[in-house]
Amino acid sequence: MSYQAPLRDMHFVLHELFDVSAHCELLGNGLDRELIDGVLEEAAAFTAHEVAPLNRNSDEEGCQLVDGNVTTPKGFRAAYKQFVENGWASMTGPVEFGGQGFPQLVACNFHEMLMSASLSFRVYSGLTEGAVLALHKHGSAELQSAYLGKMVSGEWTGTMCLTEPQAGTDLALLRTKAEPQADGSYRISGSKIFISGGEQDLSDNIIHLVLARLPDAPAGVKGISLFLVPKVLPDAARNALSCGAIEHKMGIKGASTCVMNFDGATGWLIGDANQGLACMFTMMNDARFQVGLQGLGIAEAAFQGALRYARERLQSRSLTGAQQPEKAADPIIVHPDVRRMLLTQKTLVEGSRMLAAYTARQLDLEHGHPDTAARKAAGTRAALLIPIVKAFFTDMGQEVSSHAVQVYGGHGFIREWGMEQLMRDSRITQLYEGTNGIQALDLIRRKLLGDGGGELTALIGEFSELASSLAQRPALAEMASVVGTRLVEWRELAGEVIAMSQRDAQEIGACSVDFLQYSAYALLAGLWLHAATRAQDALDAGTGEQAFYQAKLHSAAFYLRRVLPRASSHREALLGGAECLMAMPEESFAF
């Protein structure tokens, strides 16, 4: 299937909703609208012409492991070489190490394009960017000098080695050992599983960031340290590590997912001893945002495929009579149920793109705002949003892909049309970098209960202010009322969740997923109101592209009438409580 980056919608989000030029001026990076748009146009061309054509073959061919060496699918090496040579790998890297320092608000659009074009291809570079963040923030000057330049350029890639056979979500069970050596290095021994890009033929070196325990480390997560363990050592010798196997997966078959064995491999400590988890969270937060973008990218590709097919496929006549009587039948886009699926796809994708940009903006401000207090505030807001973005976007990607299969009918179930691959590829996004259930627990335990709902109240207040300001504006008053009412309910529901969780700890797990879903639907409602306001402003001013702005108003109305009501079902389920989940004895589950 083909892919075309949704540049017009990206421009709307960047320039008309979030004023990216003013954002860049605040950050002091010297980027202007002309440069940003030019970069995204080149990004659109690269992803459409160089990356997207690889996607189908990567699924058919997969990766191959022979004598410890992994071969990526045909075309990946050439495309990755071009990716590096054209500077795409260094887009967000720190300037002092050869990076271009693009803000996330801009870069997230290119990253979405990569996810849409080929999620397997994007996996290799995505984790490298996270490893760069962790090393740049926590690594010693010596490690940074030795490794960051080539990692930023993409000449070397990076991985994140956390999971072990017995230690997935619960890293307290981690067993990999690190033994200190006289020269200040460490010998790393143990096995890691599910390591994306752990071995591949794209880069000259692979820099593994590995969680391990020192001999005198305390038990639990407080005894974990982070180490840099390169595939190739500074003296050009091969390190004592190897790929023992690659997983045979449901999807993303072009991304090598490896079992990595560390047999006394040489590594160096990153950050302080026993503080590895804190260091790794720098990388994990970026990874979770990026996985959210994976869900968004897959969803955009699925929507494009479904829309293209719905316009071309002729089946039956419209319920109101023939719409194209010169043809044997009408295109299926005339049928209400197909319209329902397409509009659901469109409004979830475009709404999520707005939330991605809103979150990216907070990430930028957290690191680059000139005011210390503003940086801290942005960091708190980003931390609240990350679990919502990761979980909701990836659930959304699976739903939108499923709708695409349905729009195609029987052809959606056939491999050559590409929809079933998107559905398989998207499924992993709900699992890795912390399952969506874990994201929901994080939202409740660390974010909502952590400050008694203070930051969530501030977020709700921001959108409530927008809704209130539109109460006297006839074209938008009804939408504003719907959104305002839902925001009040969201605030009240948060209070109920806090009270329930304080009465019974089981309620935290029982209500977390439904609360996250409710929060996401309410957030998108606020963002759709923002989009509708800008669209109405443009129409009132007589701006060109009337059809584009009118479509935004139609989309906002559809979202509020047909998608937002889902939040009510999550509220009702949440209020059902934990008792009905936990009362039945375990043995009663038997069949």
Report the alpha-carbon angle 533-310-412, nearest 5.
115
433 part of the active site: yes
Phi, psi of 127 (to 5 degrees): -70, -30
Q: Which residue has the tokens 């509708």?
A: 532
Q: Which amino acid is at 402?
A: S
Q: Which amino acid is at 551?
A: A
Pair 209, 226: CB distance under 8 Å? yes
Pair 479, 560: CB distance under 8 Å? yes
Token couple for 216: 């005198």
Mention every residue, 6+ apart, whose C-beta is less than 8 A from residue 249.
257, 428
**Cα–Cα distance for residue pair 33/153, rounded to 1 Å:** 25
Instruction: Give the H or E element holding residue 84.
Output: helix 76-85
Which 8-state DSSP code applies to residue 73? Answer: P
Distances in Å between the alpha carbon of 288 and those of 129, 135, 394, 483, 511? 12, 17, 10, 28, 22
List the catalytic residue out of 433, 462, 586, 587: 433
Pairing state between β 177-180 and 156-161: unpaired
**Cα–Cα distance for residue pair 501/354, rounded to 1 Å:** 31
Pairing state between β 205-212 and 156-161: parallel
Pair 554, 339: CB distance under 8 Å? no
Mention every residue, 6+ apart, whose C-beta is less than 8 A from residue 291.
390, 394, 429, 432, 433
In three-state secondary structure terms, 431 is coil
Report the alpha-carbon angle 86-87-89, nearest 5.
120
Q: Which residue has the tokens 């320039």?
A: 15
**Cα–Cα distance for residue pair 77/124, rounded to 1 Å:** 11
Beta bridge partners of 186: 180, 267
Residue 278, classified by CB atoms within 10 Å of its CB into exposed (0-12), middle (13-18) or buried (19+), is: middle
Number of CB atoms found within 10 A of residue 272's CB:
12
**Catalytic residue IDs:** 433
